[in-house]
Structure 1
């Protein structure tokens, strides 16, 4: 290819990330000028930012860049090979899967469950469901039959994508039992060898499906459904733009550069795993490697692999990492806390005894499925400082705003927090921009947050009604 002008060679992931930090509305992955500054182009159709559009943008400019990496021990627990996918290969597989899903007799915006571990199949399936114009419902692969049945009935699932084997478990067979009890489940499909009878083999979608560019524009993304605290009775809906916005807000603290690697120990089963993993990698134009089943030796080997790396891990692993000599290529560690939680004192002073021997540590607190708040330790954006004084939050208000309610509870507003309880049988409504109240309040000492505690409310808060399509 001929060398393009320097101005056109700017990495698309940087352009998308800059847009995402401001107002997540439209995407120009092909380097097209912003219509706000060019009135003549105002009538041209604009594409909404979605996870799929981010994948496609990087695939066009950097087709050989690594997108998703399977863990090396994957064959041991899935009977499937560990594959490293480039952005170009991932985009092609996603399109093949999406065409297969569009061939099913399902109305646009149908709810499709994803009961998969956090390997490459999870990432590709999420993107394929989005590309097919349906709602991806994230079902933890650890759920038993009763919880899967409750979720399928409560969310009105029309189909489920799963895997034949995960360790000693057989999710596909478990979901066959669910389908026998819930007749609304019209399609059941699975990756892997030994797919049960009556279950569609997704590997054949990949091998036999049509390749190349789609013949017509893909349907609009219908959003994501996740479950608060892993409770199948508490589904929450958010739009695709809201997922991208949540990832962009996290990346302001984490600062992942294009081509770098995110090594995540948290699967994409909820907001925390999706926004800090797959969505963050796509916004940054980075690579994603996940470890669905944690193994100490495999984790140490993955961490030592060369290349700039950003680790995403549950907060309780900090004590295991503290005091250790970490690889020189490790750029940052994001420790994910679930509210309610205690914020350790050392989170405000990197370098003290027993702390992580790393310059960049990010604390990320997840408030159910409503919001995800990230901040760098020892800086003005430290979580303990921001929770003490919300005005310290240095994000555009349209992306995320934070305040204390009269009773001390935290409330969020902005596109990164645009989520609400799912109601079956209703169409989605546009967010009204109201504050999303939470059940949590910071415990303050000298203006600093030392913990986040749960607070009971005498009356339920009135949340904006944003519903996913039936």
Structure 2
């Protein structure tokens, strides 16, 4: 099917000019604000089966309790002899510990590096070397796996890893026990002001050789852009089947919950019976799941309190057929479904199916994107490849641990282009670079009110 350049302006967003920065805010500040105003609101819920695979209790954390634990953990991290902005790896499943650790590293003024807990020793070693990790927080047990022991082997081969700490019982010798670390804390608060949040690192396509950096404000902006489609209200629940190991998991889960003032419940290890029970717990719920789960949900009797289902695709991807009748035995109700596409670690694009924000429509005609330009702008190059700009997609590649100097309003090119048919996008495909792409036509950004 042809990829067409339809003559639309490359910057199809409306509203605030692209060079106007949005309000600076961090994940931790969102947690603290809700903890002050609604201390008893539920922040994070552990899965009920957590003791089976971690030997740790399943805990429900209020915003006030979560803020207190984050501050205790951050105070301990600040007591380590690490300069501000040091890179601390997080090799954790998507349970409460993972959420609290991300927030604590931010509060300590360090850079959280998201290490998938499924990585083997060689990939963990490559990541540690490529981003110059100074410390790693992990877990003693995850089912039959022993992440802390795996990282001990990494530390023996990479001498730059100065601190290794783990949650859980049976923490290996030489590894700091984070449970005691949180409960006891350092003897006193380290001298000097609390350092500023320093952002985080993730890896494109789960490749330890391709790290990228984004600020905490950019993570919040990505979550805000996603919530325009998902519309999560305070006190509602996000039930996520995607761990916070990359942009798609973080922005649709923890960051989205904090921006909305909502509850986050995750399922690090999927179990069908446990998922069914979690989905039917009372209360308005928004499900976040990999896109392939759609066929398993279609035709099932879903709870009446299920407000939305965010189906997260990775580009390249094919959109589901639109010929199935909404509500029929073969399809989900269109008004429930939000399609979210992750364009690597560059951007997330979300739209509610069957509305004017349906991604098949937006990617068919880019002027349909209605987000503020300062949040996200979108353009298509001569060869059809998409590029993003704005705070929600402000990301820079790391080379040998150093950030590339990229202007704040630069376009972020991707290798992906929509496949168009009759004005609709039917898929996203990967396109090789061409000579035309090397010298793109320059357009003036579309800005309203000028």
TM over 0.5: yes
Task: Measure the CA separation in 1 of the matches of 2:253 and 2:230.
Answer: 12
State whether residues 164 and 173 of structure 1, in contact with CA within 8 Å, keep that contact through their aligned partners in structure 2.
Answer: yes
Report the equivalent of 2:442: none
Task: Measure the CA separation in 1 of the matches of 2:187 and 2:265.
Answer: 25
Report the equivalent of 1:329: 305
Task: Measure the CA separation in 1 of the matches of 2:27 and 2:295.
Answer: 34
Once the two structures are TM-superposed, the CA of residue 360 in structure 1 deviates from its matched residue by: 2.0
Task: Measure the CA separation in 2 of the matches of 1:74 and 1:316.
Answer: 24
In the alignment, which of 264, 270, 274 is matched to residue 294 of structure 1? 270
Check if 1:50 corresponds to 2:26: yes
State whether residues 265 and 291 of structure 1, in contact with CA within 8 Å, keep that contact through their aligned partners in structure 2.
Answer: yes
Once the two structures are TM-superposed, the CA of residue 432 in structure 1 deviates from its matched residue by: 2.9
Over 3 Å counting, the alpha-carbon distance change for 1:71 and 1:213 in structure 2 is: farther
CA-atom RMSD in angstroms: 2.2
Once the two structures are TM-superposed, the CA of residue 441 in structure 1 deviates from its matched residue by: 0.4
- The number of aligned residues is 422
Report the equivalent of 2:349: 373
Once the two structures are TM-superposed, the CA of residue 458 in structure 1 deviates from its matched residue by: 3.9
Q: In the TM superposition, what whole-angstrom CA distance separates every residue of 1:145-194 from its partner, at most 9, and x where no partner exists?
A: 00000000011000000000000000000000000000000000000000
1:103-114 matched pairs, under 5 angstroms? 103-114=79-90
Once the two structures are TM-superposed, the CA of residue 205 in structure 1 deviates from its matched residue by: 1.7
Check if 1:234 corresponds to 2:210: yes
Over 3 Å counting, the alpha-carbon distance change for 1:159 and 1:202 in structure 2 is: same
Check if 1:399 corresponds to 2:370: no
TM-score w.r.t. the length of structure 1 is: 0.86
State whether residues 94 and 124 of structure 1, in contact with CA within 8 Å, keep that contact through their aligned partners in structure 2.
Answer: yes
State whether residues 348 and 384 of structure 1, in contact with CA within 8 Å, keep that contact through their aligned partners in structure 2.
Answer: no
Once the two structures are TM-superposed, the CA of residue 349 in structure 1 deviates from its matched residue by: 6.5
Report the equivalent of 2:286: 310
Higher relative contact order by CA 8 Å / sep ≥ 6: 1 or 2? 2
Check if 1:385 corresponds to 2:368: no
Task: Measure the CA separation in 1 of the matches of 2:153 and 2:339.
Answer: 40
Over 3 Å counting, the alpha-carbon distance change for 1:456 and 1:174 in structure 2 is: same
Aligned residue for 2:433, secondary structure, equals coil
Report the equivalent of 2:115: 139
State whether residues 226 and 236 of structure 1, in contact with CA within 8 Å, keep that contact through their aligned partners in structure 2.
Answer: yes
Report the equivalent of 1:180: 156
Task: Measure the CA separation in 2 of the matches of 1:104 and 1:331.
Answer: 44
Check if 1:78 corresponds to 2:54: yes
Once the two structures are TM-superposed, the CA of residue 403 in structure 1 deviates from its matched residue by: 1.1
Check if 1:243 corresponds to 2:219: yes
State whether residues 309 and 337 of structure 2, in contact with CA within 8 Å, keep that contact through their aligned partners in structure 1.
Answer: yes
Check if 1:150 corresponds to 2:136: no
Over 3 Å counting, the alpha-carbon distance change for 1:93 and 1:306 in structure 2 is: same
Once the two structures are TM-superposed, the CA of residue 346 in structure 1 deviates from its matched residue by: 2.8
Task: Measure the CA separation in 1 of the matches of 2:306 and 2:232.
Answer: 11
State whether residues 437 and 461 of structure 1, in contact with CA within 8 Å, keep that contact through their aligned partners in structure 2.
Answer: no
Once the two structures are TM-superposed, the CA of residue 359 in structure 1 deviates from its matched residue by: 2.8
State whether residues 418 and 431 of structure 1, in contact with CA within 8 Å, keep that contact through their aligned partners in structure 2.
Answer: no
Q: Which runs of 5+ in 1 are unaligned?
A: 1-18, 27-47, 463-470
Q: In the TM superposition, what whole-angstrom CA distance separates every residue of 1:256-313 from its partner, at most 9, and x where no partner exists?
A: 0001000000000000000000000000000000000000000000000000000000
Once the two structures are TM-superposed, the CA of residue 348 in structure 1 deviates from its matched residue by: 9.0
Task: Measure the CA separation in 2 of the matches of 1:142 and 1:80.
Answer: 19
Over 3 Å counting, the alpha-carbon distance change for 1:198 and 1:153 in structure 2 is: same
Q: Which runs of 5+ in 2 are unaligned?
A: 1-15, 440-450
Check if 1:255 corresponds to 2:231: yes
Once the two structures are TM-superposed, the CA of residue 436 in structure 1 deviates from its matched residue by: 0.8
Aligned residue for 2:338, secondary structure, equals strand
Aligned residue for 2:335, secondary structure, equals coil
Q: In the TM superposition, what whole-angstrom CA distance separates every residue of 1:229-256 from its partner, at most 9, and x where no partner exists?
A: 1110010110100000000000000000
Report the equivalent of 2:180: 204
Once the two structures are TM-superposed, the CA of residue 221 in structure 1 deviates from its matched residue by: 1.1
